[in-house]
Chain A
Amino acid sequence: MTALTQMLSYHFMQRALIVGGLVSLCAALLGVSLVLKRYSMIGDGLSHVGFGALAIASALHLAPLAVAVPVVIVAAVLLLRLSESSEVKGDAAIALISSSALAIGVISVSLTTGMNTEISNYMVGSILSLSRTDAILSVVLSLAVLLLFVLFYPRLFAVTFDESFARATGTRAGAYNTLLAVLTAITVVLGMRMMGALLISSLIIFPALSAMRVCRSFRGVVCCAAAVSLSCFLLGTLLSYFLETPTGASIVATNLLCFAGFSLAGIKGRGN
């Protein structure tokens, strides 16, 4: 208990818990739509683009988030367009863009600063990497993501479930897909600082998948995913603090355990 109080007394821990909690929540909510729309890989692709952007920003000594957020938003819109057009297949396009971005990032790093701690933090994440301005920006952006998701919930449901029907009733499905992509882009960049480029997509995909094992309604899946994401984040952070393991990896491992548990519960539930 004292260890817990001590942990919470650190400023960087408080910051990390607030930002991380909000980002986990955003990732879980968006993740439900992304997984159901078969867009899971977009989150993964975007994290690589995010790494490239952050690497270039650090090489040029620019504010990391100010560079990465717009670049990743552009990449998200581009990926969405590509996966909708039939000329380049979606998954191939994502692989293309993400590996190119990674390559550009690595080259720009090796030409300038070299592989320092900051860069390796972008790869595997670090709870310490958040500056005060980053933290404020993260809180504002994640609140915006949450607000937009809640406000457009009925429309996002309709577009996720059946795009043809939504289009037929005059809903601009394309606009909502773009909204989804932009929100995802913001969430990926924010989450990258904490989780790292290699692990951020799990924050999007795991809670949604776990929730789908046990919940049978969309609202149920959304609420359950949010709860799973938040608890796994808290538990993972605690684990990483006490076992001195990397935060991102600990959160992913907690999510994996949770997914396994929910899968078993789902199989058992269906068996009865």
Chain B
Amino acid sequence: MTILTCKDLSFSYEGKTVLESVCFSLQAGDYLCVVGENGSGKSTLIKGLLGLKEPDGGSLVWGEGVKSTEIGYLPQQTQVQRDFPASVEEVVLSGCLNSLGRRLRYHAEDRELARMNMERMGIEELSRQSYQALSGGQQQRVLLARALCATKKLLLLDEPVTGLDPVATGELYNLIKLVNLCDCITAIMVSHDIHEAVRYATHILHLGHRQLFFGTAAEYRESDLARRFLGGNRI
């Protein structure tokens, strides 16, 4: 089942094109890693996917049953959040925001969903703890649980391992891969870490103000682009 199709997509800020000719499609269960240097248009693409920025041209079509407000988004952490007084449970529950609709309060089902996702991420015993007291890796797991509350089909992760130590990084990558494989949740991850990206992802999208490469991770490994990007060493 196709979950997302982009055709000749382009974005611009104040008349200046920052990203153009993006053409790719994703199937349910794919794991796409978006790579590229700083300022190559990765964040713009994320905004476009979330429906926060209108494309300038081309089309972005979601598959049946996917809405841009039902993406499990894991944004980059801000300094404000790191020392925010909130319990883990409160943070995860806020992932149910998009199912709130016109209601003013969370229902028992929402709380159950939050509990389930905390269990999935192995943080249920932390639920009463303060978010700010957790380690970086635990915080990212909390945010991942929150993202899972918001979606059944698609995760969108913006540099999820920034600032984590190698052990926590590995754990988080494994968790994401696990969710992707076991629950058939499509994952789109923006990353600097190209070596890991190629290891975990099924597909790679390489941006540099336009689409430089889209294909499977195996194809990418063989491409000249990857060789250049990786500094001559083949992975």
Contacts and interface: CB of A to CB of B under 8 A. Distances in A.
A152 B97 CA distance: 11
Contacts of A106: none
B52 A168 contact: yes
Interface string A151-191: 11111011001101111111100000000000000000000
Contacts of A38: 80
Given A37-B80, A154-B104, A218 B52 contact: no
Contact of A164 (B75, B90, B100, B133): B75
B86 A161 contact: yes
B82 to A, nearest CB: 11
A164 B81 CA distance: 12
Given A36-B84, A151-B104, A169-B73, A216 B94 contact: no
B91 interface: yes
A215 B133 CA distance: 12
Given A164-B73, A167-B50, A168-B71, A155 B84 contact: no
Interface string A26-56: 0000000000111000000000000000000
Range class of the B interface residue count: 35 or more
Contacts of B80: 36-38
A58 to B, nearest CB: 39
B133 A216 contact: yes
A25 interface: no
Interface in A204-251: 212, 215-221
B104 A169 contact: no
B150 interface: yes
Contacts, number: 86
* Chain B, interface SS category: mixed
B50 A215 contact: no
Contacts of B156: 168
Nearest to A215: B85
B229 interface: no
Contacts of A221: 85
A197 B178 CA distance: 56
A161 B84 contact: yes
Size category, A interface: 20 to 34
Contacts of A218: 84-87, 90
Interface in B86-122: 86-87, 90-91, 94-95, 97-98, 100, 104-106
Given A161-B81, A161-B94, A167-B50, A154 B150 contact: no
A265 to B, nearest CB: 15
A95 B171 CA distance: 46
B146 interface: yes
Contacts of A220: 85, 87
Contacts of B87: 216-220
Interface of B: 50-52, 68-71, 73, 75-76, 78, 80-81, 84-87, 90-91, 94-95, 97-98, 100, 104-106, 129-130, 132-133, 146-147, 150, 156
Instruction: Give 10 nearest A-B pairs by CB, closest first.
Output: A170-B69, A216-B130, A217-B87, A169-B98, A164-B75, A168-B73, A218-B86, A158-B94, A168-B50, A221-B85
Interface of A: 36-38, 151-155, 157-158, 161-162, 164-171, 212, 215-221
30 contacts: A36-B85, A37-B80, A153-B104, A154-B97, A154-B100, A154-B104, A154-B106, A157-B90, A157-B94, A158-B94, A158-B97, A161-B84, A161-B86, A162-B78, A165-B75, A165-B150, A167-B50, A168-B50, A168-B71, A168-B156, A169-B69, A170-B51, A170-B68, A171-B97, A216-B87, A217-B85, A217-B90, A218-B84, A220-B85, A220-B87
